[in-house]
Amino acid sequence: MVKHIILWRLRENLAAGEKERVKQEIKSGLEGLAGRIPGLVDIKVNVDGRLDSSDADVMLDSTFTDEAALRAYAVHPEHVAVADGKVRPYTCLRTCLDYEIDETAL
């Protein structure tokens, strides 16, 4: 199994109300990919409960069967549509951490 974690910071020029709308659209768009992309085991987007000490506004926490599934997800048309339409236009910083999960430790 492979974990794919992304942190995004929203653009500074977004008004507070617009930031909330954008966060909800990112969440619904990405979580809507569940069951639609082969090898995508789990996908959650955290947009609530952010403390002032945070450097990011949105977190994606997803799990894939393997690295090949993660690579396929990256170019899958449904994922690309969400990324291009709901994420990239509104974010200014993206940080990614991909790592393998030792399933015996779960």
What is the mean pLDDT of each successive set of 10 residues along the chain, which is 106 residues long? 98 95 98 98 95 94 98 98 98 98 72
Q: Which residues of 23-39 are buried (b: 16+ CB within 10 A; e: fewer)?
A: bebbbebbeebeeebeb
List of residues 6+ apart from 93 with CB closer than 8 A: 8, 9, 56
Place of tokens 């894939």: 64
Q: Tell how far CA 64 is from the center of its chain.
A: 13
Query: Sheet harboring 58-64: ordered strands across?
Result: 40-46, 58-64, 2-10, 91-100
pLDDT for the residue 1:
96
Output the six-digit token pair for 58.
């949105």
Give the H/E segment covering residue 26: helix 16-31
